[in-house]
Amino acid sequence: MQINWTLVAGLAALSLAAAANWDAGTAARQRRGAWRTLTLVYLVLLAELIGDTRFGAVAGIDAALPGVGRHMVQIGLALLMLVAAGGAAIAIVRIGRRSPWFAPAGMAALAMAASFGAEILSVGPVGALLYRPIGPIMLIGWLWLACGAAAVAIAALAVRSVRTR
């Protein structure tokens, strides 16, 4: 694994988001499980970032399913990701009705996961855009930082709202 500023941005964003959501779960006893689930999402994405398996996902599926075109594999993965994202969004909204800070926190986690999904599918122009450098960090790194900052801010507001009651 090669260390670069984009990787550092992702590691920082995911680590801080996981820690902030853990803290929110500690403060919000009634919704602890929901906040711990978001923590787990960030930890899984962090492990994936470290393990760096997302780039080989489509190639691995191509190898496992000879004769199936790459575009069919990408369409299948995209549909699977859309169904999973839709299910996650519904769950987030349902839980968010009872916990005002959880819905925005869940959407931040969903946005972070979607950025990884976009990398897995890596369709031409999207990949070219995500890997465009902006200073020392590629655009994908800036997106991770934005999602991580949103997650930390929302979790901090959730903790504050629980502790000031």
- pTM given for the model: 0.86
Enumerate the β-bridge partners of residue 137. Answer: 134
Higher local confidence (pLDDT), 62 or 35: 35
Segment 48-72, tens digit of pLDDT: 999 888 777 767 776 777 777 767 7
Q: Please check the confidence at residue 74 and state whether its pLDDT lies above 90.
A: no
Q: DSSP labels for 78-142?
A: HHHHHHHHHHHHHHHHHHHTTSTTHHHHHHHHHHHHHHHHHHHH--HHHHHHHT-EETTEEHHHH
pLDDT at 43: 94
pLDDT given at position 136: 93
The position carrying tokens 């200073």 is 135
